[in-house]
Amino acid sequence: MKKLFSIILLAILSWAAIAQNRTVTGTVSDERGVPMPGATLVAGNNYAIADDKGRFSLQARQGEEVTVSFLGYEDYTFTVSGTAAVNIHMIPSADTMLNESVAIGYGKTTKKEVTGAVASLKTEDLDKGSFVSTAGMLQGKVAGLTVVNPDGGDPNASFQILLRGTNTLSAGLGPLIIIDGVADADMRNINFQEVESIDVLKDGSASAIYGTRGTNGVVIITTKRARKGATSVQYDGQVSVQAVQSRAMPMTAQEFEYTIKNYAPGKSGSLYGYDTDWFKEITRTPFSHKHNLAVSGGTDKFSHRTVLNVEQNQGLQKKNDASKYLIKTNITQSILEGWLDLEYNLGYVKRIASPANYGAFRQAFMRNPTEPVYDPDATIYGGYFTLTESDYTNPVAMINEREAKNETSTVYANLRATLNILPVKGLKWDNFVNFSEEKYSGQEYKTAYYPSSVGKKGVAYVSSDTYTDFQWESTLQYSNVFGDHSIQGILGYTWEQKMNWESSMENYGFDSDFYKYNNMGSGTALKEGLADMSTYRSSSRYIAFFGRAIWNYQEKYLASVSLRRDGSTRFGKDHKWGWFPAVSLGWRITKEPWMENVQWLNELKLRAGFGVTGNQDFANYKSLMLMSTGTSFYYNGEWINSYAPASNSNPNLGWERKNEFNVGVDFAVLDNRIGGALDFYYRLTTDLLYEYNVPVPPFDYKTLFTNVGSISNMGIELTLHAIPVKTRDFMWQTTLVAAHNQNKLIKFTNEEFQNQDYEIGWAATPVGAYLQRLIEGESLGSFYAPRYSHVGADGNDVLQDEFMGKVPVDKWSRIGTAYPDVTLGWSNTLRYREWTLSLSLRGAIGGKVFNSYRANYESLQQIGLRNILASWLDNTAYTGGIRYSDKYIEDASYLKLDNVSLSYDIPFSNKYLHGARVFVSGQNLLCITGYKGVDPEVSLSGLTPGIESTSYYPRTMTFTLGASLSF
């Protein structure tokens, strides 16, 4: 009876308690918005644990404090008020940041243990918006990594990546890209929304484990993987529009007419009386949309993540499009009671591009604006107004009368099988095989009225290429902790084979434009022997053995040693294999007992490393003396092929070798509110490859590709993170990256190869000058020009040191180098409750750029048939022709507002919809610069950096509206 009473009393009390309480619901997610199952919420005596999707339901009184906690994250406390669902974003604690994993190639370590110069980016570090390639997300985010898009608003733009300066004369400049373990992968084949982390191995000690592919750094991209738990569905969608941000401005029809009438009356024959905006005729307002659907879930034993991605992007130029269709799945499986872990990736990506006609932008610029677009009488030109002059074609016809489409399909499949040798703790044998195949098919048709081929009756071109790549990587890995000693070791072997097969054909003389490229055989040129056909196949193989040992004592003294033996078919037969050693050391001073009392300093680590890497990014077969078919010869009454050498043999051809020394310091102060890294490096690249002139005879061919020169790059890099404001509701995180690099060409010639051409960067008529010189002891990209003085009485530019109307080449001055002194990136995230505002700026200080549009089109002498830059009107005293001088080499400093985005987490959650977020973003909004051309940020790759191209794509700004929904 007593017992029964107790139960009743308890029930009544409980009821009373319930009467006072209410149910608080919501979700807990981490800083990236990923649900945090297992997070605990405590309100007085009540508690709740977040479920698979981070959802919770907790009994609490109005006004009661609720504390949310999760291991590795800072506790979060809120007060119960209102009835709305509560969505909680947890912030990682500083200790967690130090424990964040960092990919170092063939393995992982943690931020606190890493000893090389490695930059590690997570999703939240990357901008929101619309990207045509994942490479675009790296702009301004990593100190020392320059990512340039010379193609502006082209949806098929390709990015150029340059790490710590130019370290080569003629081999490749791009870093090795590794995506989910697949080396030399293509960033266009993943969806930027699926990126989970990007790690950049910057110095030699970090990248030496990649041997002859390590010189330009290694970018390791990890995409989102399978996760165990109930099935979750994530949808990300966005729409965007673009508008012109910057372009070369020609004169309008009124300005053109005014200029001719007042300054060049002799050319009034070029006034046709129309008013045509040629740029407008070939452009549109581009609209794009992207959708990504990801499904994931599973158990400890089996889980998957499957992604479906559809993108359709329009370019500014009419008919210029790019679309992408991607489906991939990642499956993880554990079998044999933990002995064997399996991971599969299967993917298919189709990219369809209608490439832009860059020449049409240039023609639209220089086309006379008083000409009409059409002329009904010009029947042989298809009704387009036409003046037959060389390099002067109707841009509207160039767009309308051309049909071009490229399709690239990539399939890839890989399997990672990890055998955990359970009896020995920490020992496993990992095998990874990947097969990928890319099929490219290009089609182009120029109709009977395409300007430069009028008379050829339609020109059709198709090409089809297949690239296959097979990789096998086998590693034995061991890691364990023995008391104060923690060790990690790896021994590995890798084998990679690439095969290319390329084919193309061209024909013309079609009866009708109807066929386009779909009935190639019907063109008459084939019968007349004027069609073209070619196929080409090549293959290369790459083999390496490698090992690495990482040791630390009490997480205080750190060391890493690696060695790689690397070989490639590309090297000469006497020089197939090379050694690539590296060593790096670290000392976490804050772990010393005598530092325990220094409260303001949370982390201080010194790092030093040395590593040897190589560059083998050059064409196949460069070490062999090969014969190719030369011209035909009439012999014994028939035309026969002649054969001639196409290259010299060079049995000593090897990789470019880079030795790099790096010292750095990682620090965190003031309760981890400010932290960062400072690195100094010196890299010396020797055995640089270049095509040298050699005498014929005795050589078979007039150039020899061989290892001669050397280049050094020296620089300093700073990364600074800070959290200036951190309250419950409002947090401001900011990251500044800055880098300075000094490039120097140390040696370009030797005893055998002397007096090579040092003048490079030829700018054709009307400039007619070499813009840059290769001089030992100076930086690459050094501009040389006569100094501009003033406009003379006759309207011509007067130059300093002129003699007989010329400035001798040896009197030209060094104007500066194309490379900036300092590159900067500044990213900010401001979070107020459900609102997040992010802001990214990027800039460069110093550096020169050659303004090609001014140098080609800012002269009264050029007006008439062609249009010129409207900016000529700013200085009408200058009536002369173009004379190359430093007037055209301008300062390239700039500050760009790359990205502004605002997102809102909708505090709404129910059984079906667990989270929703919307965002708006604007990209490439503003560029503050003194440069008078299109964009001071031009290609910095290759031997002639800093030269703006006249065949360009205008810069655009992009406005995006996006939504993310999780179910």
Partner 1 sequence: MVLCMAALSACTNLDEEIYSKIAKENFFTTEEQFEKYSARAYSSLKHGGTEKSLWTFVIQNTNEVCVPVNPNGGWWDDGRYNEVHVHNISYSNRLLEMAWEYWTNGITACNDVIDTFEDVEKDFEAKHRVLAEIKVLRAYFFMCGIDNWGSIPFSISKKDKDYPEKKDREFVFDFIVKEITDNLPYLQEEPTSEYYGRITKGAAYAILAKMYLNAEKWIGKSMWAEAEEACKAIISKGYYTLAPEYKDNFAVYNENCPEQIFAIPYSTVYTTSDHHAFLIYMSTLPADLCRPMGINADAWDGLCGEPDFLASYEPGDTRKADTWLFGQMYDKDGNALEYEPGVPYIIDPDMPESVYGKDSRRTALQGARIGKWTYQDDGKLTGGQVGMDNDFFLIRYADVVLMYVEALVRQHKETEAAAVPAFQQIRTRAGLAPMTADQLTLENLYWERAHELAIEGWSRQDMIRFDKFLDAWWAKPAKTDSDLLLPIPKSAIAANPNLK
Interface with partner 1 in residues 787-846 (CB under 8 A):
796
Q: Binder to partner 1 among 628, 750, 875, 876 (CB under 8 A)?
A: 628
CB of 409 or CB of 569, closer to partner 1: 569
**Residue 345 to residue 342: CA distance in whole angstroms:** 10
Query: 261 φ, ψ to 5°?
Result: -65, -35
**Residue 315 to residue 392: CA distance in whole angstroms:** 24
CB of 312 or CB of 569, closer to partner 1: 569
Rule CB under 8 A: which of 760-779 touch partner 1? Answer: 764-766, 768-769
CB of 496 or CB of 679, closer to partner 1: 496
Q: Binder to partner 1 among 441, 569, 734, 789 (CB under 8 A)?
A: 569
CB 775 within 8 Å of CB 757: no
CB 380 within 8 Å of CB 349: no
For the record, the structure tokens of 196 come out as 């989970």
Hey, what's the torsion of the CAs at 948, 717, 213, 683, to 10 degrees?
A: 100
Q: Binder to partner 1 among 42, 327, 625, 839 (CB under 8 A)?
A: 625
User: Smallest distance from the beta carbon of 145 to partner 1, in angstroms?
Assistant: 32
CB of 162 or CB of 653, closer to partner 1: 653
Interface with partner 1: number of residues (CB under 8 A): 82
Rule CB under 8 A: which of 412-471 touch partner 1? Answer: 452-456
Rule CB under 8 A: which of 377-406 touch partner 1? Answer: 380, 388-391
User: Smallest distance from the beta carbon of 813 to partner 1, in angstroms?
Assistant: 19
Q: Which residues of 566-599 are buried (b: 16+ CB within 10 A; e: fewer)?
A: bbbbbbbeebbebebebbbbbbbbbbeeeeeeee
Residue 696 engages partner 1 in binding (rule: CB under 8 A): yes
Hey, what's the torsion of the CAs at 254, 256, 258, 260, to 10 degrees?
A: -150
Residue with tokens 């860059």: 358
Examine residue 92 and say whether the peptide bond preceding it is cis (omega within 30 degrees of 0).
no
User: Smallest distance from the beta carbon of 865 to partner 1, in angstroms?
Assistant: 7
Listed ranges 10-18, 227-235, 303-311, 695-703: which one lies at the site for partner 1 (CB under 8 A): 695-703
Rule CB under 8 A: which of 861-890 touch partner 1? Answer: 861-862, 865, 880-881
**Residue 28 to residue 89: CA distance in whole angstroms:** 6
Handedness of CA 724, 726, 732, 737 (dihedral sign): positive
Residue 620 engages partner 1 in binding (rule: CB under 8 A): yes
User: Smallest distance from the beta carbon of 182 to partner 1, in angstroms?
Assistant: 20
Residue 372 engages partner 1 in binding (rule: CB under 8 A): no
CB of 392 or CB of 959, closer to partner 1: 392
CB of 388 or CB of 910, closer to partner 1: 388
For the record, the structure tokens of 702 come out as 């007039």
CB of 527 or CB of 728, closer to partner 1: 527
**Residue 568 to residue 495: CA distance in whole angstroms:** 10
CB 875 within 8 Å of CB 926: no
Q: Binder to partner 1 among 63, 265, 269, 777 (CB under 8 A)?
A: 269
Q: Binder to partner 1 among 229, 581, 645, 907 (CB under 8 A)?
A: 645
Residue 17 engages partner 1 in binding (rule: CB under 8 A): no
User: Smallest distance from the beta carbon of 212 to partner 1, in angstroms?
Assistant: 12
Residue 754 CB coordination number (10 Å): 9
**Residue 702 to residue 705: CA distance in whole angstroms:** 10
Residue 756 engages partner 1 in binding (rule: CB under 8 A): yes
User: Smallest distance from the beta carbon of 650 to partner 1, in angstroms?
Assistant: 13
Residue 695 engages partner 1 in binding (rule: CB under 8 A): yes
Rule CB under 8 A: which of 313-352 touch partner 1? Answer: none
Q: Binder to partner 1 among 553, 579, 643, 832 (CB under 8 A)?
A: 643
Listed ranges 235-243, 571-579, 923-931, 948-956: which one lies at the site for partner 1 (CB under 8 A): 571-579
**Residue 203 to residue 117: CA distance in whole angstroms:** 5
Instruction: Enter the DSSP assignment of 54.
Output: S
CA distances from 439 to 157, 406, 409, 846 (A): 19, 10, 5, 42
Tell me the per-residue interface mask from 575 to 604 with partner 1, x by CB under 8 A, - otherwise.
-xx---------------------------
Q: Binder to partner 1 among 45, 262, 599, 754 (CB under 8 A)?
A: 754
**Residue 508 to residue 526: CA distance in whole angstroms:** 8
Residue 504 engages partner 1 in binding (rule: CB under 8 A): no
CB of 148 or CB of 366, closer to partner 1: 366
**Residue 581 to residue 571: CA distance in whole angstroms:** 19
Rule CB under 8 A: which of 519-558 touch partner 1? Answer: 528-530, 535-541, 543
Q: How far is CA 594 from the centre of its chain?
A: 45
Residue 258 engages partner 1 in binding (rule: CB under 8 A): no
Query: 300 φ, ψ to 5°?
Result: -60, -35
Q: How far is CA 509 from the centre of its chain?
A: 41
User: Beta strands of 53-123 (E only): which ranges?
Assistant: 55-61, 65-69, 76-79, 86-89, 101-103, 108-110, 118-122
Q: Binder to partner 1 among 33, 37, 315, 567 (CB under 8 A)?
A: 567
Listed ranges 66-74, 332-340, 352-360, 642-650: which one lies at the site for partner 1 (CB under 8 A): 642-650
User: At 857, is the secondary structure helix, strand, or coil?
Assistant: helix
DSSP characters over 429-462 = EEEEEEEEEEEEEEEEEE-TT-GGGTTS--EEEE
Residue 633 engages partner 1 in binding (rule: CB under 8 A): yes
Residue 621 engages partner 1 in binding (rule: CB under 8 A): yes
Amino acid occupying residue 877: A
CB of 598 or CB of 640, closer to partner 1: 640
Q: Binder to partner 1 among 262, 379, 727, 755 (CB under 8 A)?
A: 755
Rule CB under 8 A: which of 112-171 touch partner 1? Answer: none
DSSP characters over 492-517 = EEEEEEEEEEEEEEEEE--S-GGGTT
Residue 640 engages partner 1 in binding (rule: CB under 8 A): yes
Residue 268 engages partner 1 in binding (rule: CB under 8 A): no
Rule CB under 8 A: which of 466-495 touch partner 1? Answer: 493, 495
Residue 264 engages partner 1 in binding (rule: CB under 8 A): no
Tallying the residues shown for the chain, one arrives at: 967
User: Smallest distance from the beta carbon of 698 to partner 1, in angstroms?
Assistant: 5
For the record, the structure tokens of 415 come out as 């399997």
User: Smallest distance from the beta carbon of 636 to partner 1, in angstroms?
Assistant: 5
